[in-house]
């Protein structure tokens, strides 16, 4: 008998097709020339993403679990393994993903078809103990592909913004905003004993486990994200020229990189513009500030007399609320202005930097083998972001979801919400 939580083979096959189709849909606006670009070490070529997500299914499902499976190409495991050390193949250096004209885009789509074919067969034929494992891994593989769908958009934005023509990914996107943001208000939250982490209902990554108790002092969370208009005041106050405002590591990056504003902001004839997936647009003060590093989010919060929420504070507030907001499903691909009400924009729009280091929860154990490298080995020197963005799929998120980035990184759709103590 199937339990409610366990999809049937047919449901899984359908889900697989849906998720795979969305990756291809996201690539439709691309020109062939766009597919191979890598404009930063962390921004991979679209062609690589398309191949890597297929490799993930090939390596973790088809090779170990589908009898008679023939790999599409004997070297693709080397080219499209991202970072898994516990494999025979090793991997091509991340920084050089953009230097490979072959396989061609057409060949990468053929690879994709080959893997899809194998996966359909696996979903029909696999059984017994193998099927248990396969089901688990298919869910990881689908969630993995959804992560790369967000990265596809994030990286395409980076590649197009690098180009002085500032080309649009799609010129038909709605990036409109009201003249003024809703006033900044705060919601008081009681705190006390609470639990953090995945509840066990539905899929979660290993880094959301184990669920564990934690204590929270009473706190306040802003009812919306910090806006471009507010961040402009920070800039106008001379923030980027004032070392007193910044953490030491932040100031070093600011000096070295010459940062003067968030990523994708530029001044044209004295007026601020912002590069978006719809191309370059005048900066709109009511929209959330996006593409900030942790360094900028943390400094802004302190400058504003506030602080970043901890991930426990964020999750405690979010777990009691519906997962509603602006996701990739809307097709806007740019954050929108907040609406009036409590804790607007909690999900979607922009990932929210928290003040929490990305660390294992008490008792966390990564799985054995290469699959255990998925999240666990990154639990050092990164910070947690919560809530998803306008580039995240709605059904990829849950209250316990933990994203993570290095504190200087700002190419993802990352913004901030202020927090404060109750006095
Ligand atoms: C959670 C976005 C930091 O980009 O490495 C993709 C997502 N994990 N493939 C990353 C991920 C494995 C991950 N981030
Ligand atoms: Fe990956």
DSSP string computed for 380-412: SS-EEEES--TTS-GGG--TT--EEE-TT---S
User: Quick one: which atom of ligand 1 is closest to the CA of 52?
Assistant: 9
The sheet with strand 265-268 has its strands ordered as 265-268, 271-276, 279-282
Going by alpha carbons, the residue nearest to atom 8 of ligand 1 is 374
> What distance in angstroms lies between residue 161's CA and the mean position of ligand 2's atoms?
23
> What distance in angstroms lies between residue 239's CA and the mean position of ligand 1's atoms?
31
Q: Which residues of the chain have pLDDT under 50?
A: 1-2
The confidence score (pLDDT) of residue 21 equals 98
The confidence score (pLDDT) of residue 4 equals 56
Does the pTM of the predicted model rise above 0.95?
A: yes
The confidence score (pLDDT) of residue 2 equals 43
CB 124 within 8 A of CB 14: no
User: Quick one: which atom of ligand 1 is closest to the CA of 403?
Assistant: 1
The confidence score (pLDDT) of residue 423 equals 79
Give ligand 1 pocket residues (Cβ under 6 A). Answer: 144, 147-148, 151, 374, 403-404
CA distances from 49 to 31, 152, 272, 322 (A): 15, 7, 32, 31
CB-side neighbour CA atoms (13 Å) of 240: 15
The confidence score (pLDDT) of residue 5 equals 63
> What distance in angstroms lies between residue 144's CA and the mean position of ligand 2's atoms?
6
User: Quick one: which atom of ligand 1 is closest to the CA of 56?
Assistant: 9
> What distance in angstroms lies between residue 249's CA and the mean position of ligand 2's atoms?
28
Q: Which ligand is nearest to the CA of 388?
A: 1
> What distance in angstroms lies between residue 283's CA and the mean position of ligand 1's atoms?
29
Phi, psi of 137 (to 5 degrees): -75, -30
The sheet with strand 419-421 has its strands ordered as 186-189, 219-222, 419-421
Q: Which ligand is nearest to the CA of 389?
A: 1
């Amino acid at each position: 008998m199937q339990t409610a939580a366990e999809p049937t083979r047919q449901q899984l096959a359908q889900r697989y097709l849906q998720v795979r189709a969305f990756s291809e849909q996201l690539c439709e606006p691309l020109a062939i020339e766009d597919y191979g670009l890598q404009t930063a070490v962390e921004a991979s070529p679209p062609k690589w993403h398309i191949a890597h997500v297929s490799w993930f299914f090939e390596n973790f499902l088809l090779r170990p679990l589908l009898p008679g499976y023939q790999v599409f190409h004997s070297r693709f495991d080397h080219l499209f393994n991202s970072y898994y050390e516990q494999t025979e193949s090793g991997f091509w250096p991340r920084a050089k993903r953009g230097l490979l004209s072959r396989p061609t885009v057409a060949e990468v789509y053929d690879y994709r078809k080959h893997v899809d074919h194998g996966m359909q067969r696996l979903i029909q034929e696999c059984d017994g103990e193998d099927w248990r494992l396969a089901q688990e891994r298919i869910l990881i593989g689908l969630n993995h592909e959804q992560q790369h769908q967000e990265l596809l958009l994030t990286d395409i934005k980076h590649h197009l913004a690098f180009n002085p023509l500032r080309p649009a990914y799609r010129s038909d996107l709605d990036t409109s905003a009201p003249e003024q943001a809703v006033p900044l208000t705060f919601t008081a939250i009681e705190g006390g004993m609470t639990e953090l982490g995945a509840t066990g209902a539905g899929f979660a990554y290993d880094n959301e486990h184990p669920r564990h108790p934690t204590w929270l002092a009473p706190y306040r969370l802003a009812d919306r994200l910090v806006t471009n208009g507010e961040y402009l005041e920070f800039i106008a106050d001379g923030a980027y020229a004032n070392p007193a405002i910044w953490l030491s590591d932040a100031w070093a990056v600011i000096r070295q990189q010459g940062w003067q504003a968030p990523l994708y902001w530029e001044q044209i004839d004295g007026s601020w513009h912002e590069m978006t997936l719809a191309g370059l647009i005048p900066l709109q003060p009511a929209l959330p500030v996006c593409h900030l590093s942790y360094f900028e989010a943390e400094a802004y919060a302190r400058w504003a007399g506030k602080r970043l929420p901890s991930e426990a504070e964020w999750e405690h507030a979010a777990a009691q609320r519906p997962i509603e907001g602006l996701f990739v499903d809307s097709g806007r691909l740019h954050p929108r202005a907040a609406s009036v009400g409590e804790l607007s924009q909690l999900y979607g729009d922009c990932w929210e930097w928290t003040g929490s280091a990305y660390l294992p929860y008490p008792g966390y154990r990564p799985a054995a083998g290469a699959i255990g490298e998925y999240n666990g080995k990154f639990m050092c020197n990164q910070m947690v972001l919560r809530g998803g963005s306008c580039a995240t799929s709605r059904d990829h998120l849950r209250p316990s979801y933990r994203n993570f980035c290095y504190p200087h990184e700002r190419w993802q759709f990352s913004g901030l919400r202020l927090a404060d103590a109750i006095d």
